[in-house]
Structure 1
């Protein structure tokens, strides 16, 4: 399976329905191959009264996202209980529609995808202050210091809700194998006992594997390398209001340059449950290092 150059990474599809009436099916090979599946006519329809939630004032100010964990735990929001119940119902409806979508697009994954958090992201990307490590306007693959994945894939469904006509602007980078080969000479193993200590101190939710250690380094090396950010192969992509896109965010290099008001749903998939497991980031890195990477670092 060949991987796309940045300019060819986007695959635009005609669907306008989330449920099983939509035409697109059996596209596991596209998303696993590093494509971004783009549905310009697949909007998340707000119900009467829900447009008021497209306002950062609903955030409690402690997080950039308002998220729904499971079915009933709303985090990151503030406001009267009745309003928060309506906000929770809106995010829950998006999560249900995202589940319908991935079940149709990826029949090979049915019963294997595990739903994570769904969220509303109300803040503008532009002007957000952060450290370089948290600066998502820099090309990166998703990897999380406190939440090791042990190689599990991160499949994400995004929808632009912007009511002012502003697109969500991304940059998409080079194929993961090329990215990993570029930075691999700079990767270093973790010191013995690091994974145990981080978990013991509750810095990580589980023990960090050698794979997680490598992915965190790749994330940080890319973000901290100004020359790479300027000159690496990349292409700009605009996702208009009303558009939905689906991507393995642990594989596709991406940077979020502009936009405000977006919904997102994360799904988790074991590498063994892919259509072609050998092209997962875990397998790419294992071939590079010539060893298994799911032992704790």
Structure 2
């Protein structure tokens, strides 16, 4: 890549009037050293087709092109950023720009396997994007994602902590999850009001069947929907006390005390009941 011919990231922002748009959740990273560390944290990318969401002025894109990635596909919604990243694409055949809403993009149709996601996600849709990708986790080799710190801590949280919740269970059930680094607000332009963090999710070799995923989503939504309730009350629509008894779990416990493995046990109990003709709901005795 002929990087020497490219303007600096700050100059790129000036040329294309790419001031961060708060409505799009934009906060740009401009430090080449930090961007290189983020790209390296994604692990070995040789021969992998990388998807980046919201490249902005292209700082992380440049860093990803310096890895052994086979190709980088940058998905951008902001037309100003599309123009900026197009200048970068003119310097290499390994970069494709897709002007699209990442929430609606079918990444498996756009990018061939093996594929990985590496992205500084827009704050306003980061969690929604992750939930969408978790439902298709088997399609990705890895996901290395920047979130605001609070969201990253929820994804990585352990049981019996205030951050532990539905997204913790779903993410850790489907992936190996690692907190890689915290990024101070001052590293961004403009600085957000909160710190950020980079996490890496590596999908597990064995992924659940679609019906198991639906049951787990239903189960965790009920369990964490009213966190202060005991399981017998929170899970009442799914069987409450009877469901917990069949799963061997104390119904007086609260959702945040259950391990991911215990949630899997509850889900499998629901599944067994559904296969027996109970529709996934265990009647209270």
TM-score class, shorter-chain normalisation, is under 0.3
Larger Rg: 2
| TM-score normalised by L of structure 2 | 0.27
| TM-score normalised by L of structure 1 | 0.26
Structure with the bigger percentage of helix: 2
